[in-house]
Amino acid sequence: MGYNIQNWDLIQSTKVSGTSKMKCPICTPTRKNKSDRSLFVNFTNGTAKCFNNGCDALFFKDSIQNSIVKESYTLPSQEWRNYTKLSDNLVKYIENERKIKQYTLNHFDITEESYYQPALNKEVNNIVFNYFESDTLVNKKYRSGNKKFTQSKNGKPIFYNINAIIGEEECYIVEGEFDVLALYEIGIKNAISIPNGANDNDNYWSNSEKYLKDIKKFYIATDNDESGNNVADKIAQRLGRYRCERITFEGKDANDDLKAGVLEKTIHNTSKYPVSGTFKVSDVIDNIFDLYDNGMPETIYPKHHSFGNLKDIFSVMRGHLITGTGIPSHGKSNFTEWYVLNLVRDYKMKVSFFSPEHHPFELHHTTFIEKVYGKNFFRDNDNCQRISKEEILRYKEWAEEKVYLTGTENGEFPTWDWLFEKFKEQMFNYGIDIFVIDAFNKLGFNGKGNRLEQINEVLTKLTMFAQMNNVIIFLVAHPTKMQKDLNGLYASPTLYDVSGSSDFRNQTHDGFCIYRYFGDGAEEKGYTTFENLKTKMKFQGEIGGVVEFDYHIPSGRYYEKFTEVPTYCLIDEPKEFEEEKEQKEIKPITPATPTEAFGITDPFGEKYEEENEIPF
């Protein structure tokens, strides 16, 4: 397998957590320098690696096969060694076309197997990338000569070459297995690949967490195209931008640059992600020119026309803490949920709600389902149809990797330190973009000091967390009891009225108030106002600006006053906002046959049978 897997019991220690450098039980007896502590042991994760060149022993405390059973995955056949003899045609083709040598194919235990390709509806010869965790084969990816793919049924999703980063402080993340092999050709061994191309999926992140969480620096080396840039941004979002750098290739990917003979140069073509810290002008000069050419940066706001001119008076930005307040029962939580769910839809974001006031979770989801469809969950109501079971299942598919709920277990009392740890876990495992905390007073303080000092410390942590991780945090906060005016109406709260401290005004980046006018219940119809209490940047909106909304009780949706109740479904693509794609004239060409383009046989030495077959 290219790795020297050894028994964990050979490590003699009483430690059960933390890390330690020790003498390697495998290579120390045969070394001249018997005092060298070349073995790095992570007792918390149950992994260890010897950094003595020529030993490279790996140790795993837990049985991977037992974890496979526990996690309900299916192990592929472990008889991969029967297929390690690669045909001359395949070896020569990969060396000629990919510049990847046979010793690299052998190191990664690449196999050649006949396997059924669903896309071709037949069994064909494949190059096989074997996914190992420890010495256990947990998944296999089959790639045919004409670039069709399939995987082991119910295999464990995990990064390719995950063993290579155990004990490492740095890690390269690429977009394909061939790119891992390309980096190995120039001496970079600590490289892993996302398993599904330019797709970001929660499962392989969760399964790889213990191997990734202690890495100090990540070099994101996904493809140099739109999809590669998009997945790179999502990877940085999960890992924390402060410990990521982006590599930009001259060609499309690492393998392209290896073929062009420039990979050893372009692998150092890195740029930092924008996070708080210390930067030189050269670090942000491209962004400065972008502002010069294109004006102020775009802000984030719900795009549907039912929000009226709200985007003109209030919008948000990544890296901001937004505090929403309002008198109890005036709808601040309800409006925040409606606002945020539209951001999830319009910007393909993910959100995590911490809302102890909305337990149990299943009941909270019913309010989301109503807002998503614009229908009532429990009954037909006010010309509004009841949601069907089919729509509930469709919501499940849509929300499964978009909407997350956070709560304590086993009677645990939630504190701010606990919540920050949950946020960090969710950033990594799920790539969260928006966190909603409803409400501030539902969490206990951990630090010492008076209440004002504790509130100031928490707000400081919230603002720094938002900036460091480039996320948006919505914080719902109750005001103190407001006084009534001469007409018997409560005054509309400001951020200075939020219970506990004026720091809610001073520290938050942006803020708003939701205020409800109830009407007299007869001729006068009630309505709700959204008021901008603070926006950090002038171009985000107009402080003091107000938009009036009507409220649709059956669906929980807000919409611009005096307009029709919106009926659009949040699951559907927002077509009314899609930019028109430029139509270009495509001139017809006469396609070459596979034989004309690539010769008589494919990389496995077999004749092409169909005109649309393309090698690797």
Burial class (CB in 10 A: 0-12, 13-18, 19+), 243: middle
pLDDT per residue as tens digits for the range 357-384: 888 899 999 999 999 999 999 998 767 8
pLDDT at 603: 54
pLDDT at 607: 53
Summarize the confidence of residues 43-65 as an average pLDDT. 88
Name the pLDDT band for 612 (thresholds 50, 70, 90).
very low
Which position has the token pair 């390697």? Answer: 24
Window from 80-84, 544-548, 555-559 with minimum mean pLDDT: 80-84
- pLDDT above 50: residue 582: no
Cross-strand pairs, 528 = 516, 549
pLDDT at 91: 93
Window from 36-40, 102-106, 379-383, 551-555 with minimum mean pLDDT: 379-383
Tally of residues, the chain? 616
Separation CA 302–CA 307 (nearest Å): 7
Q: What is the mean pLDDT of the chain?
A: 87
- pLDDT above 50: residue 71: yes
Name the residue with higher pLDDT: 493 or 3: 493
Summarize the confidence of residues 372-397 as an average pLDDT. 91
Separation CA 193–CA 220 (nearest Å): 10
Identify the three-state secondary structure at position 195. coil
Q: Which range in 257-271, 272-286, 519-533, 586-600 is most confidently predicted, on average pLDDT?
A: 257-271
- CATH (residue range 305-577): 3.40.50.300
Percent over 90 (pLDDT), the chain: 60
Window from 57-66, 88-97, 544-553 with minimum mean pLDDT: 57-66
Name the residue with higher pLDDT: 353 or 410: 353
Name the residue with higher pLDDT: 170 or 279: 170
Name the residue with higher pLDDT: 63 or 289: 289
Q: Which residues contact 572 (CB under 8 A, 6 or more apart)?
A: none
pLDDT at 463: 94
Identify the three-state secondary structure at position 262. coil
- pLDDT above 50: residue 589: no
Burial class (CB in 10 A: 0-12, 13-18, 19+), 555: buried
Percent over 70 (pLDDT), the chain: 90
Window from 48-57, 200-209, 275-284, 461-470 with minimum mean pLDDT: 275-284
Summarize the confidence of residues 471-500 as an average pLDDT. 86
Window from 186-200, 409-423, 515-529, 547-561 with minimum mean pLDDT: 515-529
- pLDDT above 90: residue 292: no
Arch. (CATH architecture) of 65-272: 3-Layer(aba) Sandwich (3.40)
Cα torsion through 454, 455, 457, 463, rounded to 10: 160
Q: Which range in 31-35, 58-62, 235-239, 431-435 is most confidently predicted, on average pLDDT?
A: 431-435
- pLDDT above 80: residue 608: no
Q: How many CB atoms within 10 Å of residue 168?
A: 18
pLDDT at 606: 56
Q: How many CB atoms within 10 Å of residue 380?
A: 11
Separation CA 222–CA 247 (nearest Å): 8
φ/ψ of 226, rounded to 5, equals -60, -45
- pLDDT above 70: residue 135: yes
- pLDDT above 80: residue 594: no
Summarize the confidence of residues 499-511 as an average pLDDT. 84
Tokens matching residue 152: 């082991």
Name the pLDDT band for 293 (thresholds 50, 70, 90).
confident
Q: Which residues contact 519 (CB under 8 A, 6 or more apart)?
A: 525, 526, 527
Burial class (CB in 10 A: 0-12, 13-18, 19+), 158: buried
pLDDT at 54: 85
Name the pLDDT band for 385 (thresholds 50, 70, 90).
confident
DSSP 475-541: EEEPBPPPPB-TTSPBPPP-GGGBTT-THHHHH-SEEEEEEEEEE-SSSSEEEEEEEEEE-SSGGG-
DSSP 291-303: HHHH-SPP-B---
pLDDT at 237: 86
Window from 101-110, 281-290, 506-515 with minimum mean pLDDT: 281-290
Pair 51, 24: CB distance under 8 Å? no
Q: Which range in 148-162, 272-286, 508-522 is most confidently predicted, on average pLDDT?
A: 148-162
pLDDT at 69: 63
User: What residues does each domain of the chain span?
Assistant: 1-61, 65-272, 305-577
